[in-house]
Structure 1
Amino acid sequence: MESILSTLMSTSTSTISTTEALLYGMGASILGFVISLTYIKTGTVSKNFARTLIILPFLVCMVMLAVNGNFGTSLAVVGAFSLVRFRSLQGSSRDIGFIFFAMTIGIICAVGQMPLAVIVTAIICGIHFVLNGIGYAAKEAGEKDLRVTIPENLDYSDIFDDIFERFTLSHKQIAVRTTNMGSMYEINYRVRLISEENEKDFLDEIRMRNGNLTVVCGRCDMNEAEEL
């Protein structure tokens, strides 16, 4: 540990030319591009986030090199970046993981350990591709999120049970909440349809039962906030 710290401190206090800094930054951007491709190929994609992953390692590397007279200060500045709350859609744990991934690569490039940065990028990207390929912890195929609105005078406990028996392989009530100032209930179910071709008939049956109020059926992650 002492040898690693001494190496980092000596790297941070040494004079780095503009050309060397730009080379480190370009290397970080190339690895950021690889990270961005991994993000695109292994899950749901946000265009702006994918582009940010290319830029982030370069910025982190430049900040580290700009304050290379004090390694502790450079880490503090980079750490402050992680405290910034972006005014956008709520990020998932996957997005946060990729942010830390990109920042780590930027830091490794800044201390001049380009071979290590390439190895770390290859290992982490490989893990993502393997987990995505085998479907690790993926939701069961065909499972959908069903949200049904009913008037407050209806008993929601078993109102759709007969419809579920005819159209679904499985169903489970996830949550119930009041809406429209308490005059209606919104019920959230997790369902697996027997046949995707009968989805319209399934929704029509529910609409006739709930008085033609709002019915939403889609992917399980459509409106779902992912927990860390």
Structure 2
Amino acid sequence: METQLFRSIFTSSTTNVTVGQLGLSLAVSLILGLVLAGIYKYKTSYTKEFVVTLSLLPSLIAVIIFLINGSLGTSVAVAGTFSLIRFRSAAGSSKELLAVFMATAIGLATGMGHVTLAIAVTLLLGLMVLILENTRFAQINQERRYLLISLPKEYENQGFVDHQLGKVCQQVELLSVQYKKKKEVLILEYQVLLNRKMSDQQLMDSLLAVEPISIHLHKQAPKKKYL
């Protein structure tokens, strides 16, 4: 079984590959791409364009790997093309990045003829994604909140804000202070851990005692440029 798992359906040279072998490789990569897209859609906000791309990406990579097999010059040209595409594309989320890497791995495996390995890796990693999505291991802390509080530049009683937060929170951590010159406001970014019996409404009511003030409450950390 171990030797079969890592055995390629192709021979050592692409000139000896039959149409049936190539068709099998492309068919498997297409099916695994559809499986990967279905796994990605599970409990995820997605776009139609990305799902279609994810479904076809393994097949495309399989064709590229088949074409550059044994050609150093072609492989360098393809690497340069992929680098250009990388720098011209928008940054995605961590889950999108994982899906693209999985699609790439599937395409590489099927393009080299390792069909059994591609199927095994897809099923194993897909199962792990589904398990992690349905367990508490990767779940967000239900009591943790992220606050963006805007105050006038001349507001000097920041200690009162910390005092109000301390009434309803187990833990208060000031992450950053930002000054916006155009609006002349200070933006305080907090990470807080609510008391178990406190609600978001009680947190908001406590902070609204500070005037003038603008509050943005998030259950997830605002997206940064890093993962």
TM-score (norm 1): 0.78
Contact 1:67 1:74 in 2 (8 A): yes
Q: Structure 2 unaligned segments of length 5 or more: list them.
A: 1-5
Deviation at 1:192, TM superposition (A): 2.9
1:206 corresponds to which residue? Answer: 207
Identify which range, 77-86 or 47-56, moves more after superposition: 77-86
Mapping 1:1-228, distance limit 5 Å:
10-17=12-19, 20-41=21-42, 44-47=44-47, 48-68=49-69, 70=71, 73-74=74-75, 77=78, 80-81=81-82, 83-85=84-86, 90-136=91-137, 138-155=139-156, 157-181=158-182, 183-194=184-195, 198-211=199-212, 213-221=213-221, 223-225=222-224, 227-228=226-227
Q: In the superposition, relative to structure 1, how do residues 36 and 155 fare at CA in structure 2: closer, same or farther (>3 Å)? A: farther
Q: In the superposition, relative to structure 1, how do residues 175 and 9 fare at CA in structure 2: closer, same or farther (>3 Å)? A: farther
What is the rounded CA distance, in whole Å, between the counterparts of 1:138 and 1:79 in structure 2? 39
Q: In the superposition, relative to structure 1, how do residues 203 and 37 fare at CA in structure 2: closer, same or farther (>3 Å)? A: same
What is the rounded CA distance, in whole Å, between the counterparts of 2:158 and 2:11 in structure 1? 65
Listed one character per residue, the Cα deviations across residues 39-65 of structure 1 (whole Å, up to 9, x for unaligned) are 233x64322433322111011112223
Cα RMSD for the two superposed structures: 3.4
Deviation at 1:226, TM superposition (A): 6.3
What is the rounded CA distance, in whole Å, between the counterparts of 1:198 and 1:72 in structure 2? 62
Contact 1:64 1:78 in 2 (8 A): no
3-state SS of paired residue (1:160): helix
Aligned-pair identity (%):
25
Runs of 4 or more above 4 Å deviation: 6-9, 86-89
Deviation at 1:197, TM superposition (A): 7.3
What is the rounded CA distance, in whole Å, between the counterparts of 1:76 and 1:126 in structure 2? 35
Q: Structure 1 unaligned segments of length 5 or more: list them.
A: none
What is the rounded CA distance, in whole Å, between the counterparts of 1:206 and 1:66 in structure 2? 62
3-state SS of paired residue (1:158): helix
TM-score (norm 2): 0.78
2:46 maps to a residue whose letter is S
Listed one character per residue, the Cα deviations across residues 73-111 of structure 1 (whole Å, up to 9, x for unaligned) are 348626742552376653233322221211111111112
